Each structure stands twice: as C-alpha cells, then as structure tokens.
Amino acid sequence: MTVKLTGKARTAALASLKGWKKVSKRDAIARSFKFADFNQAWGFMTRVALAAEKADHHPEWSNVYNKVEIVLSTHDAGGVSEKDVALAKFIDSIA
C-alpha cells in the first residue's frame, strides 16, 4: 500500500512542484493547463494517460476545449503520496 506524505517529506515534495496548489477541503493537489487549441490539449492528455496507466496511478481531470484541469491524490493512501508527486513532475515535463 502507498503511504500518504506527511511532515517534512510532504513539505519538501510539494515545494519541488511548481504551479501545483493544495485543494481546499481535500488532501490533494491541482493544476490548470491552457493550450493553443483542443488538439494540443488532447495530445497532452494522451501522453499523461499513457504514463498514468503505466504507473497504475490515474488523475482526476477535466477538459474543455484548450483547458485541462488535473487533481492528484492517492485514494488508497488517503491523500497526496510520492505517486502524485512523480506524476505531477512528469506532467510538468511535458506541459
């Protein structure tokens, strides 16, 4: 089972993420992305989906035209874990 990040490990992990914000009333992180058009947004989502499937760790997300909203939380850990940090870093690397 994956362990929820707490204390100094959580603080350090979240500090390493740029643009990600804590979600109000949840132990989760979120970020919004805006692309030139739907095609770019969909291509981005496809790359994230392939990585998420490989890691067996899936985001909560929505897409409207050129905007993608992503929320990350590890449900079996009850909050943000290293899985979320790793996926967030991957997402940032392709955005």
The model carries a pTM of 0.94
Q: Which two tokens stand for residue 32?
A: 């919004």
Distances (CA, A) of 32 to 51, 61, 77, 82: 18, 10, 24, 20
Query: What top-level class would CATH report for the domain 7-94?
Result: alpha beta
What confidence tens digit (pLDDT) does each residue in 28-60 have?
999 999 999 999 999 999 999 999 999 999 999
Ramachandran angles phi, psi of 24, nearest 5°: -60, 130
